[in-house]
Amino acid sequence: MANVIVIGAQWGDEGKGKITDLLSRSADVVVRSQGGVNAGHTIVVQGKTFKLHLIPSGILYPNTECIIGSGTVIDPKVLLQELEQFQSLEVSTENLFISQTAHVTMPYHRLLDMASETRRGKHKLGTTGRGIGPTYADKSERTGIRIIDLMNPNGLQEKLEWTINYKNVILEKLYNLSPLNPEAVIEEYLEYAEQLRPYVVDSSLKIAEAIQKRKNILFEGAQGTLLDLDHGTYPYVTSSNPIAGGACVGAGVGPTVIDRVIGVAKAYTTRVGEGPFPTELHGKVGKLLGNRGAEFGTTTGRRRRCGWFDGVIGRYAVRINGLDCLAITKLDVLDELEEIKVCIAYELNGKTCNHLPSNAKEFAQCKPIYETLPGWQQSTTNCRVLDDLPQTALSYLKFLAELMETPIAIISLGASRDQTIIVEDPIHGPKRALLNVNGEPVSSTFD
Ligand code: GDP
Ligand code: IMO
Ligand code: MG
């Protein structure tokens, strides 16, 4: 039995969907606990591509239960479209469960998200425009609508009438937008409620029962460490807690039930949306990474900004999440490069800086200090065991593992399930905490 958190170690889109799908073969339950339809997780199985926003990436396994937990925010319209996608492909959604205490993204949340971005002008955050910030803001302000409210039509009508009239004042007076028609919204959402009703459960109780039965639970992260509301690159962050600790809060489990935390990181870095990005590449190499890596947002289709691997961020992700091991994805994207740079520290005001500055202005001034490594200039997409990898690729991975003092358990070399090297058992293999006498991670992996 093992309960495992899979977390994004960078700015999102690290390949969490692929890794979750891969590990789900030994999971009984997969839980999403943070974020909403801002997430876009891609799974490629037998040539078919699935894009998931809310449904956990374990859904392709018929016996795996998938839970959308309390800490998520649910846009019913998008969720129902996702359900249809799977039903039309004859993938069963019988094992999907939705938390009754998750908050609901309403039409006014989407409108307010987009309106506030427009109002911010050049100071915009570059959100996905999916209403995520306003939904979490209402949750904190205690004016949110929860799934449990949707399940109670009478109470819902009263609550929504009040809330929509209140939001209409903001839409009209602050943003000069047309007001929403409360009756039409209520009717639409009552219809969604009936379609979602069969899936709604007390999710933390369901997870607790699974824990009691010693089932294997996988907590699928959304977004990434640097997008965390408390520990990310504020204000250029999302409005939830994508870090490992957030998985416990969002699922409603105590930290003592977690056996392992796996961090997913690309072999380089990407970021979508605004905000400082020290290793960003604006020239030819950045374009090459974007094109080879097909770096377009799963949710918004925006071009992702690309840059070299940032070890300062990597070490930060290890610390903030307590990572036990890493899954390094998209190594194949580097295949053509003659040389590859890795940021080992920053230079800030003439001094070396080994830690992520909390101040966004300081972070924007950080200049990366690079170590340059040779590329391998050959395809790795068909490698299936470590010995298949070119020596220079192994050296690159060893460098990353040492930089982050964390063993690499999984290497991904393509979008499909089989384009993967399992270096060590990611769930039961060596943990980062087990260091040898020299303080090095216990891993003979690349030696
Ligand atoms: P997530 O949000 O962390 O689940 O990541 P996304 O699905 O948004 O973005 C990752 C993209 O990279 C998807 O299109 C995946 O199919 C793809 N992908 C995942 N792993 C690999 C890999 O090792 N190599 C390549 N070339 N593509 C990958
Ligand atoms: P997955 O789960 C990458 C980014 C947005 C924006 C910031 C705030 O696929 O890794 P929001 O709409 O959340 O208020 O936007 O966060 N962002 C993501 N970037 N992957 C994601 O999810 C993201 N979810 C939000 O681009 O910069
Ligand atoms: Mg994504």
Interval 208-244: pLDDT, tens: 999 999 999 999 999 999 999 999 999 999 999 999 9
Give the residue among 128, 101, 104 at the shortest CA–CA distance from 114.
128
Whether residue 317 is predicted with pLDDT greater than 90 in this model: the reply is yes
Ligand nearest to the CA of 225: 2
Which range (36-45, 200-209, 291-300, 396-405) has the least confidence?
Answer: 291-300
* CA 138–ligand 1 middle distance (angstroms): 32
Q: Give the pTM.
A: 0.96
Active-site option among 21, 28, 41, 149:
41
Supply the pLDDT for residue 139: 98
Banded model confidence at residue 446, pLDDT cuts 50, 70, 90 = low
Pocket of ligand 2 from Cβ distances under 6 Å: 8, 11-13, 38-41, 125-128, 130, 132-133, 222-224, 227, 236, 238-239, 272-273, 298
The protein residue whose alpha carbon is closest to atom 23 in ligand 2 is 223
In the three-class reduction of DSSP (H, G, I as helix; E, B as strand; rest coil), residue 45 is classed as strand
Active site annotation includes 123: no
* CA 272–ligand 3 middle distance (angstroms): 10
Banded model confidence at residue 297, pLDDT cuts 50, 70, 90 = confident
The torsion angles phi and psi of 42, rounded to 5 degrees, stand at: -105, 135
Contacts of 361 (CB under 8 A, 6+ apart): none
Whether residue 436 is predicted with pLDDT greater than 60 in this model: the reply is no
Q: How many residues does this entry show for the chain?
A: 447
Q: Are 71 and 244 in contact (CB under 8 A)?
A: no
Any atom of ligand 1 within 6 Å of the Cβ of 223: no
Select from 125, 223, 226 the residue to mutate for testing ligand 2; criterion: most ligand atoms less than 8 Å from CB. 223
Beta strand 41-45 with 48-52 is antiparallel
Any atom of ligand 1 within 6 Å of the Cβ of 279: no
What is d(CA 139, CA 254) in angstroms, rounded to the nearest whole number?
22
Interval 74-97: pLDDT, tens: 999 999 999 999 999 999 999 999
Which range (61-70, 211-220, 418-427) has the least confidence?
Answer: 418-427
Active site annotation includes 13: yes
Supply the pLDDT for residue 437: 59
Supply the pLDDT for residue 444: 44
Interval 243-272: pLDDT, tens: 999 999 999 999 999 999 999 999 999 999
